[in-house]
Homo-oligomer: A and B are copies of this chain.
């Protein structure tokens, strides 16, 4: 029997509650479908800092490296607002992304028909929305050096962050975007600020070259990132796949997520390169919402984003396409039936808690 190794990192805030629901699905799939999932669990973020003074322990890093896939909940909260920069909760997530080389972050922004009215946009602009944002995740200003604050004397400090992109980093993320576009509406929009940033100039060139050399069948468009943000608000359905760098991807995927009106619903996948021998790729799956400390522990959080992240895991890490489809169908069904957590509650629906 196939063994499928999952490493669970529920993290802080509503992470553990949401993860508990996925654990039920894993147990069900093991008993009813002989799915062969083996799970282990660790700490990340504030809870890891409380336990051993780091945002993730070496031991847990090793387990994450050895797993077929990592399921990640959420990190952070006011409790850890004042901890030192290097061990802040986010550092755990950033280290996982970097050390596992999860360079491709897939963030679908999907508007479930049942929830179109929950968007702050006019329903006709978001109904049926289905955008995939492909965000570069291991480069750019997130990891470039120098990244320091120096004391200049005279009461003046200087803070420096460095955006760095090499050709190969842009090539591989562009390829992921073009490949995925072929399974969708076959259109990619690449976003950067080439009118201001040299990394935008290189980004634009490399994406254009990759397109020409390997994916001339895919429709490619370039947009300045600020104009892209505008267009997301004005007419989001014009997009299929958007490919962009780490920082613009952070901003744009959050704007796109909010368009759907259902932040508590949106999953993400962070993927590495396929191993040359085994074809396996390291992967981490994570809801787009954060740790929501204000509602943590109350049993009211929406677990759908975490469950949908597990569906992405079935799809991308285990090629269990049928099972992923079934799970996603189940989510849509629950919504159709008007069963809702508080965040997406609407008139005529029945309000339920996380575990319902």
- List residues of chain A with CB under 8 Å of any chain B CB: 76, 85, 88, 90, 94, 120-122, 125, 141-142, 144, 147-149, 152, 155-168, 193, 195-199, 201-203, 225-227, 229-230, 232-235, 247-248, 250-251, 254-255, 257-259, 263
Q: Is the CB of A90 within 8 A of B121?
A: no
By a CB distance below 8 angstroms, the chain B residues around A125 are 120
| Cβ-defined contact, A233 with B255, below 8 A | yes
A230 engages B201 (CB within 8 Å): no
Cβ contact within 8 Å between A196 and B156: no
Chain B residues with CB below 8 A from A248, complex form: 251
Q: Is A158 within 8 A of B148, CB to CB?
A: no
Q: For A198, give the chain B residue with the smallest CB separation.
A: B159
Complex formed: what's the CA distance from A158 to B167 in Å? 7
Q: What's the least CB distance linking A122 to chain B, in Å? A: 6
Q: How far does the Cβ of A131 sit from chain B's closest Cβ, in whole Å?
A: 14
A147 and B255 alpha carbons, distance in the complex (Å): 28
- Residue pair A159, B201 in contact (C-beta under 8 Å): yes
Residues from chain B with Cβ under 8 Å of A258 in the complex: 229-230, 233-234
Instruction: Give the CA-CA distance A232 to B232 in the complex, in Å.
Output: 13
In the complex, chain B residues whose CB is within 8 Å of the CB of A199? 159-161
A to B CB contacts below 8 Å, 21 in the list: A120-B122, A120-B233, A121-B121, A121-B233, A141-B196, A148-B198, A149-B201, A149-B202, A152-B166, A159-B165, A159-B201, A159-B202, A160-B162, A160-B199, A161-B163, A161-B197, A163-B163, A193-B250, A230-B257, A233-B233, A233-B258
**Once the chains are docked, how many angstroms separate the CA of A141 from the CA of B225?**
14
- Contact status of A156 and B163, CB under 8 A, knowing A251-B229, A258-B234, A263-B230: no
Q: In the assembly, what is the distance between CA of A227 and CA of B257, in Å?
A: 11
Do A163 and B160 have beta carbons less than 8 Å apart?
yes
From the candidates B157, B164, B235, B251, name the one contacting A225 in the complex (CB within 8 A). Answer: B251
User: B250 to A197, Cβ gap below 8 A?
Assistant: no
Minimum distance in angstroms from A74 CB to a CB of chain B: 13
A91 to chain B, nearest CB (A): 9
On whether the beta carbons of B234 and A250 are closer than 8 Å, the reply is no
Q: Say how far A2's CB is from chain B's closest CB, in angstroms.
A: 38
The 5 closest A-B pairs by CB, nearest first: A159-B202, A159-B199, A226-B254, A161-B163, A230-B258
Which residues of chain B come closer than 8 Å to A263, judged between CB atoms?
230
Q: A120-B235, A195-B90, A233-B120 are in contact. Are A166 and B156 (CB under 8 A)?
A: yes
For A198, what are the chain B residues with a Cβ–Cβ distance below 8 Å?
A: 85, 147-149, 159-161
